[in-house]
A and B are shown apart, each in its own frame.
Chain A
Amino acid sequence: MRTRGLALAGWLLVACAEDDSKLTLALNWKPEPEFGGIFEAERSGAFEKRGLALERTGGPGAPVVQMVTAGQVSFGIASADEVVLARDRGGDVVAVFATYQTSPQGLMTHAARGLASLEALLEAKGTLAVEPGLPYVKWLEKRYGFGALQVVPYTYSIAPFLNDPTLSQQVFVTAEPIAARRAGADPQVFLVADSGYDPYTAVVITRGETLRSRPAQVKALVEALREGWRGYLDDPAPANARMGPLNPEMDAEAFGLGAEAQERLIEVANGALGQMSEERWATLAQQLSELGLLAKPPQPAASYFVNP
């Protein structure tokens, strides 16, 4: 009994202590083109050659921010507004790499309705299916008002959209519109970014403590990701083939169309992939503060991220 207790304590200690080269990265969704660069970096050995043993974990519904804060995983994927909110609550998470320079979040409606803009969509009658609590939904409500819209929870299925011509729903530009089109619908998509709310998305986060204690590793990881994303942008097919078996709901064509749809949201004209600016973070923090989502005043922009 006593030896078993000691063994358990020992295992816990080992599990908590982070192996120097062993790293974990928690995804916040199923393998999809939004993680293409990660899978490409795995495939091409970008992590290996920098001496990083990266283990992927997580999935839909994983509490990534909590997992990173608790030290259960070394890195995770979140969106920039989650980072600002988490830091406001006292969590010490920092962004190190931004996959999307332009947010792929949007609202999808039926083209037959002839709505010309997001504003028109939100003023019209109908149903809007979005995850409760999304900051950009609050933004849109504040900016345009929801008028006669009935707001209901979005449950990650496009079936309600396909069955209801007056239903609009949240989308990731790389996923749902493509699925809807292939299911025979004629969707029209409006990017939220175009309305002025544009957080970095699919951001790689880590603990402040990890940054302080192992900066070289973090830098190596970011460089590996950069390499992976470069490779994925040049040719998404091999990484897509890797992700396919892990996400049976999407076929090769869906992966291809998704990768294509997101290119312009990721690519940078000059500079390196994934880098972030203080100005964008300051704007975001200010917007969230004005929406009343922060308990304390916004932190200095530089505290939210680093470009290793």
Chain B
Amino acid sequence: MKRALTRIAPPVVTFVVGVLLAEWLIRALDVSPLILPRPSAVWAAATGEAASLLPALGATAQAVLIGLALSSTLGVAAAVALAASPWIQRAFYPYAIFFQIVPIVAIAPLLVIWFGYGPRAVVAAALVVSIFPVIANTLAGLLSVDPALRDLFRLYGASGFATLWKLRLPWALPYLLTGLRIAAGLAVIGAIVGEFVGGGGLGVLVLGAMRQQRTDLVFAAVAYASLLGLALFAAVGLASRIALRHWHASETER
């Protein structure tokens, strides 16, 4: 209990102090609410407009989760394929990097042309933006498998599939989870940008709020999006702790 408190208390305290300071400063400097709303105004919008924010959050979250599910499975599959041989890596890895560098704002309209308006294009945007960290990290994990263990598997005549399933994939799991941690935040960004063009969710809500000079609502929507990203990040962290709980048990005992 005490350990949980020492972990949670500092960031919470920082947050509260920061919010109070911002509230006072914005009031004292008389900053226009059109430019920078007070935290209390953002809170009012976040709670007062929950009727439209929550469904929007739900739509975005759904697209993000589907996008992440796809980028995990496709990303792992791609990493397994790339790890098969150095030739394949050299031939195809540069194209995986394409997903990293392409600006999603530029290809979102293309995604809408290919997938139509609505959730499919948004999922596609979330996928495009979040798949590369999964591929890169999982590949690193697959390539770093202990060579002695690989020899051991060969010694007992293990098939390629058995080696993949019982050795290489479990070995790469911590790397995959690191990649997912990064991918989660990116997927939220990708989904919202996708929504700017494809419609729905927090993306459209933000555009509408800006059009109506509702800066407080814009900040509230951003806060909701951040909470989504934070929740995903925490979920991956939790999954990590559970999945890897035996790996470094000796450290936790100390």
Measuring CB to CB, which residues of chain A are less than 8 angstroms from any residue of chain B?
Answer: 63, 65-66, 69-70, 82, 85-86, 88-92, 127, 131-135, 150-153, 155, 157, 159-160, 163, 293
Query: Which listed residue (B32, B33, B198) contacts A152, Cβ 8 A?
Result: B198
Residues of B within 8 A of A89 (CB): 33-34, 213-216
> Does B211 lie within 8 Å of A153, measured CB to CB?
no
- B213/A153 in contact, CB under 8 A: no
Listed A/B pairs (12) with beta-carbon separation below 8 Å: A65-B34, A85-B213, A89-B33, A90-B32, A91-B34, A91-B213, A131-B211, A132-B208, A132-B211, A153-B204, A157-B109, A160-B112
Question: When the two chains form their complex, are residues B207 and A132 in contact, meaning their CB atoms are under 8 A apart?
Answer: yes
Query: What is the number of contacts between chain A and chain B, taking CB atoms within 8 Å?
Result: 72
Q: B210 in the interface, Cβ–Cβ < 8 Å?
A: yes
A63 (CB) vs chain B CBs: closest residue = B210
Within the complex, the shortest CB–CB distance from A96 to chain B, in Å, comes to 19
Contact, CB under 8 Å: A152 / B199: yes
B33 engages A90 (CB within 8 Å): yes
A63 CA to B35 CA, complexed, in Å: 10
Does chain A have a CB within 8 A of B196? yes
- Please, which residues of chain A bring their CB within 8 A of the CB of B205? 132
Tell whether B59 is near chain A: CB-to-CB under 8 Å. no
Q: Which residues of B contact A85 (CB under 8 A)?
A: 212-214
Least CB separation from B215: chain A residue:
A89
Q: Are A86 and B198 in contact (CB under 8 A)?
A: no
* Nearest-CB residue, chain A, relative to B48: A295
Chain B residues 89-122 with CB under 8 Å of chain A are 109, 112-113, 117-118
B65 at the interface (CB under 8 A from A): no
Residue B209, interface by CB 8 Å: yes
CB distance from A176 to the nearest CB of B (A): 16
Q: Which residues of A contact B118 (CB under 8 A)?
A: 150, 152
Residue among A85, A132, A151, A152 with most chain B CB within 10 A: A132
In the complex the two chains form, what is the Cα distance from A45 to B167 in whole Å?
A: 79
B34 adjacent to A155 (CB under 8 Å): no
For residue A151, give the distance in angstroms from its CB to the closest CB of chain B: 7
* 6 nearest CB pairs, A to B: A133-B208, A133-B211, A132-B208, A152-B117, A132-B207, A152-B199
Instruction: State the CA gap A14–B211 with chains docked (Å).
Output: 31
B68 CB within 8 Å of chain A: no
Contact with A along B129-145 (1 / 0, CB 8 A): 00000000000000000
B64 contacts A by Cβ under 8 Å: no
**Measured CA separation A131–B199 after assembly (Å):** 10
Give chain B residues whose Cβ lies under 8 Å from the Cβ of A132.
204-205, 207-208, 211
Give the chain A neighbours of B209 by CB distance below 8 A. 133
A153 touches B214 (CB 8 A): no
| Bound complex: CA A20 to CA B250 (Å) | 73
Tell me which residues across on chain A come within 8 A of B212, comparing CB atoms: 85, 133, 135, 293
Among candidates B34, B113, B196, residue contacting A69 with C-beta atoms closer than 8 Å: B34
Q: What CA separation (Å) do A87 and B121 show in the bound complex?
A: 37
B residues 170-225 near A (Cβ < 8 Å) are 195-199, 204-205, 207-216
